[in-house]
Each structure stands twice: as structure tokens, then as C-alpha cells.
Chains A and B, each alone.
Chain A
Amino acid sequence: MTDNKNIIEMNNVGIRYGQGPEILSDIKLSLPQGSFYFLTGQSGAGKTSLLSLMYLAQKPSRGQISVFNHNLNFTNRDQLASLRRRIGVVFQDFRLLDHLSAFDNVALPLRVSGMDEKEIKKRVTELLTWVELEEHMFDKTSILSGGEKQRVAIARSVINRPDLLLADEPTGNVDNIIAGKLMKLFVELNKLGTTVVIATHSDKIINDFKYPRLHLQNRGLHIYYPTDTSMFGGLNV
């Protein structure tokens, strides 16, 4: 285990589903602590797949991954759970527990880590109010609108101030004003030290916020920095 300031390191990583071809090959990547990246690429390029490696929902079909300096090849189930508690995830399809209220969904990460219910109530109420969902706090998420669900999903991902935040299209279902507000939330979290990766199709967001971009193309990963004038002038890593 090398002790460095990279939150995530990948080497020679490949992903394939079942017996299919690799959808990502030879991925090499280091995410320094406190960095902020966009993740881009055409639909089907593998953004969700790459993120799922980072939030430890699947193993790569080859290669090495370290998360918080833990080599995943040498990490047991309980350690995995502890690592996952330091990661906040906004899923592309939200993955809320629809039979539960917005409150219970957002409270989930705190309950899983055994926090006191009084403290949970305080924090969840505060955050749901901030994302303008106080009216729907005790509604089942199944009856919420797409944008409302998305805000619940985001609230759930940040409620425990994760060290790493991975968001898959987190602003796809909300209007520009709310999108801006949510982006500011991510930026604020980043300032407090959270490493952030956001998969997005939105050119507006990418242009408004000058962060480097991980771009998936032809099964490979390319990194572009905001100073680059041309998308095709980027570095190959």
C-alpha cells in the first residue's frame, strides 16, 4: 500500500461484461485528493461503468485499482463497506428506495453508519430544506417528480460529507437554476476537501466550471484541461 495523496489509482484496468468485448481498456488514472473532474464521452462510452468501479460496485476484469490507498485485491468485505461509507454516489437512475420517504432515503447513509437518530433528524431536515424539498420530506419518493427524485439522490450522496463524490448525470432532470445551485453544492463540498467526479453531457456546465475533463473515447481515457483550446489537442494518458 503506497501512501500518497491520490484518492483513486487505476492501472491497466479493463472492463467487460460477461463474455463480451472490453468496453474500456488499459485505463490508467490518478485522482489527487481534493481534485474536481468532469467525466464525458458519448452515450455508451462507459462513463457509468468507470464510475461503478470507483464506487466499488463491481470489480475490473483486469488491472489494479486502489481506493483511499487500499488495493482492492487485498480488501475484505468489511473493509469494503468502510471504504464505501466514505464515497457518496448519485446514480444516473437515482436508485432511491421508492417504498421509503425522501427523509428515510437521505437518512440511509447515516443509519448505516450507526448515527444517533436525533442527530440524523436534524441533519436530514436541514439538507432537504436546502434542496427545497421540505414540503416532500415525508412523501414516498415514488410519487416525486424526476427533478425532485434527483435532488433526493444528491442529498443522500452528500449527507455524510463524503471524501469522494461520484455523480452520474446529476443535473440531467432539473432546470438551469436548480442545476446551478446543485453545482455550487458540489463546488462547496470540493472546497471543503471532497474529491469530485461528475459525469455530464452538458456543455454549459463544462464551460461554466473550468475543471479538467476525463473523456472516454474508443475504449480509452483521455484527460483534457480547461486551458486546452481544442478538444482534440488533449493529452493522452
Chain B
Amino acid sequence: MSKTSYISRKQELPLKSENTSLFLQIIISIAVFIFAITLSGVLSIDSMISNWNKSILGSITVQIIPVNNTNKEKALAETMAYQEKAVEFLKSVNGVTKVTPLTDEQLDELLSPWLGDDVDISDLPTPRIIDVKISPDAEIDFAQLSMDLAQASPQATLDSHKLWLNKLISFADGLNLIASTVLLLVAAITSGAIFYTTQMSLGLHHNIIEILHIIGAKDTYIAQQYTKRMGFLGFIGGIIGLFFAVPAIFFIGNLALNIEGGIISDATLGFGDWAVIFSLPLFAMFIAMFTAYYTVKQTLKKML
């Protein structure tokens, strides 16, 4: 005869002995595993994008390719005319705060390390450079800007490194969008699995639920037992998933570090990112609880 203490009383619904428990736990573990890895990807791409953005934001440079002409004076005059056109155009662009063509002295300074002090640059067909300051919250489509600039002043080109970074950012943004879709899908599938197992379980325990109802139990009373159980399965599943995901994230991170070029090294997970990843079991728990609660309430509504 077991002396059941009134504190550790048994739940009316024998949810602990259900054989769907293992299935759910595996589903949730795998879901959290995939979720954690994808999320770490999203977060590192985010940090990478913001690093790149920082290097783009603030200022860009525009080059004016010198016009080729045997008459040096004429060539310089034409080049300066193109520069004037480019400056005019750049000033009209939204988000541009300041446009400064570099003076001969400044250009001199820039080039002297390469050419030595003795060279008079006015003798050489050196490109002119325009420094363009951009407001930090301006949303500029650099690819479009580059085309418009070429239209306004055929000899002008936007700094290609930054243009390239900008394209990379678009690519990373796209990658992030796909990854976020994966996150949503994984959450939805988990939620769906919990929905169906809860519904199945409600059907299985139809008799008990009917008795509880007749005795005067509200749906919330029944929902609480499911919320508790599913929350527990969600949390444990989350811990297991995380347990496998963390080494995997480090492994992938190391692979990325081996890529030459330093681009990927801009991708790092900060303390906040890790905090989010480590809170995934809690997140899984809440999804499980919420889904179970919702399912029970919706399903029992149809009962008498």
C-alpha cells in the first residue's frame, strides 16, 4: 500500500505514461538543435552585416578617371568639368551631407608615398577624388547610385570595394531571410507536433475528461495538466537539443575561421547572442505550453 502524500498527488490525466512522450521529446530535441544552429548563423551574419555596414557608412569615395588627350590643358579642363558634374549630381542625392573634391595639394599628399616627392602630379593623368559624406541613417542603394553617377558623369566611378561589400550585404541579407524562414518553419513544425499529440491524447483520455467535466472541472483545469506536461517535455527536449547544438556551432565556427580573406571573421557571436541561444530550452518550453493550452481549449470547446 503506497502512502500517497497529498502534496505529490497524481494528476488525473495519466500523461506521464503516454508513449507519444518519447516521440515528442525527439522532435523537440531535433527542432531545438536545428533552431540553435540556424539561429547562430543568423546572429553571426547579423554581426557581419553590421560590421560591413559600419565600413560603408559615413563616407564613400568617387573617382574621376582622367580624360586622355595629348593636349594636357584641355584634358585637365575636361576632367575638371566631369568632376564638377559629378559633384553637382552627388549633392542632389538624398542622404549625402557633404561633397568635397580633393584639392591638388591633398591629392599630392595621397600620392607622394607612391610616387616620391619629386614628381609633379599635374604632369600625370592622375584620377581626381571626391570625398562624399553620408548621413548615418541614409538608406542608399549603392548599385543604383553607381549607375546614376555614371549617367551624370561618364568618367566618375564609385569606390568598387564598397560597392562590392554592398553586394555582399544584399547577399547576406537574403541568406538571413532564408534562415529566418527556416526558424519560423522549425517553430511551426514543433508547434504542430505538439498540437497533434495533444489532440491525440485528448481523444485517448476522452472518458476521463468527460468525468472531469461532469464533476465540474473547467477546461482550464484540464489544460493546466497538459500545459505542465508539455512544458516539461519542451524544456527537456530543448536541453538535449542544445547539448548537441553548442559543439556543432563551435565546429562550424572553426571551419569558417579557416576561410581566407577575413570576411567571415567579421562574424562573431557576442554575449547577447549566446544568451539568446542558451534560452532556447525556455523558448521551447513556452511554445509547448502555449500550444498545449490553446489546443486543449479549442478541442474541448466542442465537448459538452
Are A and B co-members of a single complex? yes
- B1–A100 touching, CB < 8 Å: no
**In this assembly, does B3 line the interface, its C-beta being within 8 Å of a C-beta of chain A?**
yes
Q: A23 to nearest B CB, angstroms?
A: 18
Q: B299 to nearest A CB, angstroms?
A: 13
Q: A55-B214, A103-B4, A138-B2 are in contact. Are A112 and B221 (CB under 8 A)?
A: yes
Residues of chain B lying within 8 A (CB to CB) of residue A138:
1-4
**In this assembly, does A42 line the interface, its C-beta being within 8 Å of a C-beta of chain B?**
no
Q: A97-B12, A97-B208, A120-B6 are in contact. Are A89 and B214 (CB under 8 A)?
A: yes
Docked complex: A53-98 residues within 8 A CB-CB of B: 55-59, 77-78, 80-87, 89, 95, 97
Number of interface residues of B (CB under 8 A): 25
Question: Cα distance A113–B215 when bound, in Å?
Answer: 9
Q: A4 to nearest B CB, angstroms?
A: 24
Question: Cα distance A39–B268 when bound, in Å?
Answer: 78
Docked complex: B84-142 residues within 8 A CB-CB of A: none
**In this assembly, does A109 line the interface, its C-beta being within 8 Å of a C-beta of chain B?**
yes
Residues of chain A lying within 8 A (CB to CB) of residue B210:
57
Q: B266 to nearest A CB, angstroms?
A: 56
**In this assembly, does B275 line the interface, its C-beta being within 8 Å of a C-beta of chain A?**
no
Instruction: Output the residue of B3, B9, B14 with the most chain A CB within 10 A.
Output: B9
Docked complex: B208-222 residues within 8 A CB-CB of A: 208, 210-219, 221
- A81–B9 touching, CB < 8 Å: no
**In this assembly, does B259 line the interface, its C-beta being within 8 Å of a C-beta of chain A?**
no
**In this assembly, does A108 line the interface, its C-beta being within 8 Å of a C-beta of chain B?**
yes
- B218–A117 touching, CB < 8 Å: no
**In this assembly, does B10 line the interface, its C-beta being within 8 Å of a C-beta of chain A?**
yes
- B6–A117 touching, CB < 8 Å: yes
**In this assembly, does B7 line the interface, its C-beta being within 8 Å of a C-beta of chain A?**
yes
**In this assembly, does A99 line the interface, its C-beta being within 8 Å of a C-beta of chain B?**
yes
Residues of chain B lying within 8 A (CB to CB) of residue A99:
10, 14
Docked complex: A106-146 residues within 8 A CB-CB of B: 107-109, 111-113, 117-118, 120-121, 138-139
- B214–A104 touching, CB < 8 Å: no
**In this assembly, does A101 line the interface, its C-beta being within 8 Å of a C-beta of chain B?**
yes
Q: A72 to nearest B CB, angstroms?
A: 10
Residues of chain B lying within 8 A (CB to CB) of residue A117:
6-7, 9
- A121–B6 touching, CB < 8 Å: yes
Contact with A along B196-231 (1 / 0, CB 8 A): 000000000001101111111111010000000000
- B10–A104 touching, CB < 8 Å: yes
Residues of chain A lying within 8 A (CB to CB) of residue B2:
101, 138
- B216–A82 touching, CB < 8 Å: yes
Residues of chain A lying within 8 A (CB to CB) of residue B304:
56-59, 80
- A108–B215 touching, CB < 8 Å: yes
Residues of chain B lying within 8 A (CB to CB) of residue A77:
218-219, 301
- B4–A101 touching, CB < 8 Å: yes
Question: Cα distance A59–B304 when bound, in Å?
Answer: 8
Residues of chain A lying within 8 A (CB to CB) of residue B10:
99-101, 104
Question: Cα distance A82–B4 when bound, in Å?
Answer: 29
Q: A201 to nearest B CB, angstroms?
A: 23
- Chain A residue at minimal CB-CB distance from B212: A112
Question: Cα distance A188–B218 when bound, in Å?
Answer: 30
Contact with A along B177-190 (1 / 0, CB 8 A): 00000000000000
Partner of B211, one of A78, A81, A85, A97: A97
- B4–A104 touching, CB < 8 Å: yes
Question: Cα distance A58–B255 when bound, in Å?
Answer: 65
* Apart from A89-B215, A104-B12, 15 more pairs, CB < 8 Å: A56-B304, A57-B304, A77-B219, A81-B213, A81-B217, A85-B216, A87-B216, A95-B211, A97-B12, A97-B211, A101-B2, A101-B10, A108-B215, A112-B217, A138-B3
